[in-house]
Structure formats: structure tokens, C-alpha cells
Amino acid sequence: MAKPLSNEDIEQRRDELVAAALTILEVDGITGLTLRRLAEGTGVSRQTPYLYFKDKAALVDAMCVAGIRQLTASSSQAVLEASAKGPIEQLRMAGETYVRFGLQNPNLYALIFNPAKINAKPSDAMAEAVAENNAVSRSLMQRAWDEGRISMEPERLNNVFWAALHGLISLRHDGLICDDETFFQVLADLEQTLAVGFLNDG
């Protein structure tokens, strides 16, 4: 092994490292995710990950992209499976998928939405992955909009939904909504409020 790595090889190694890193993250949390440990775990030496990622930030970015893409795939499938039920119900399924992803991958979710990069823009790759993910729900909203079911432009309503669900999940992860019961109560209340509002009059 001393000839230049093919692009396929490089990509495969990167994927392997990302997969191993995601496992570490899942098991031991963000503090357990260390480059040395990742190297050990994959049976290589300390510095080897640097052959495939510029630095730890680049690895984390790749992990985030992988996570977002996984979410996008799940959402797409859920939307597809509910295609008979119309865009509004499909939206609900997409939201449910999003919430489930957040609950089942707390460490990864937190990594995606806060790779310790306060005030730093996400990378191009991550921005693209996020855009692809948003496209899933936005296309549903577009259909609902075309059918006259919703009262706000898709792009705008998508941001509203995203903020609401993201906030809920974040509060959960931060320990500010501790029990499941409260969480799903708030989720239901959020759905209702977003749907029909909280004001009694007009």
C-alpha cells in the first residue's frame, strides 16, 4: 500500500471513519469522540484520520452531513408511504420522522445543530444537505399551497415548522423538558397551535 489512493478508496476510507465516529458519538457522547480513539477503534494509528480529513472539524462536518442525509432518506420514505393521504397528513408524517430522528440520535442531532461553531456558518456541504432535507417538506407545502390548503407561502411556513420542531427537540435535549409525557404534550400543543392558532377571537 504505497501507491496513490484512488478516489473511490479515499471515499470509502472516509465513509468508514465517519461510520466509526458516529458509533463512538452514539455510545460515548461528544466528549468521547476523540481522534485518537477513532484511530484506535479503526485499527490504525493516531495520525491516520488526518490523511482523510483536514482536521477534527472536517470529520465532524462529514458526520453531520451523513446524519442529515440519513434523516432526509427517512423523511422521503415516510412521505412516500403516506402519499395516498394528501400533503397535510404527509407533512405530519415528515414532522414525526424529524422528531423521531432527534429523539433517537440526541448526540448526532446536537452535533448537527451545534458543532461548537457559534457564529460560524455551516460548511457548503452541510448547507447543501440541509437544503435537500428542507426540500422534502417544502415540496409537500408547495402542493398544499397549490391546493389552497395553507395560508402561508411554503418557503416561509417551512421555516416556521422547522424552528418550532427544532426548538422542541433542543429543549428536550437540554434537559428542560425531562419526561416523555410533557414532550409529546408540547408536540401536540405545538401542532394544534400552528394549525389553528391560540387566539380565541381574531
Among 18, 65, 78, 157, binds its own copies (CB under 8 A): 157
- Three-class secondary structure of residue 106 per DSSP: helix
Q: How far apart are the first and last CA of the chain?
A: 72
Q: Residue 77 corresponds to which cell in the numbers above?
A: 420514505
Query: Mask 105-124, x = binds its own copies (CB under 8 A)?
Result: -xx--x--xx-xxxxxxx--
Q: Of its own copies, DNA, none, which one does residue 85 interact with (CB within 5 to 8 Å by kind)?
A: none
Q: How far is the CB of 14 from DNA (least distance, A)?
A: 11
Is residue 51 a contact partner of residue 112, using CB atoms and an 8 Å limit? no
DSSP 8-state symbol, 5: P
CA–centroid distance for 187 within its chain:
18
Q: Is 36 in the site for its own copies (CB under 8 A)?
A: no
Closest CA to 79 of 160, 144, 3: 144
Q: How far is the CB of 26 from its own copies (least distance, A)?
A: 11
Among 26, 41, 50, 106, binds DNA (CB under 7 A): 50
Closest CA to 113 of 194, 105, 26: 105
Among 11, 81, 182, 184, binds its own copies (CB under 8 A): 182
Closest CA to 67 of 35, 28, 114: 114
Closest CA to 190 of 62, 65, 72, 98: 98
Q: Residue 153 corresponds to which cell in the numbers above?
A: 407561502
Stretch that binds its own copies, among 37-45, 68-76, 77-85, 184-192 (CB under 8 A): 184-192
Q: Is 74 in the site for DNA (CB under 7 A)?
A: no
* Residues near its own copies, by CB under 8 A: 29-31, 88, 106-107, 110, 113-114, 116-122, 130, 148-152, 156-157, 159-160, 162-168, 170-171, 173-178, 182, 185-186, 189-190, 192-202
* Residues near DNA, by CB under 7 A: 1-5, 13, 33-37, 44-48, 50-51, 55-57
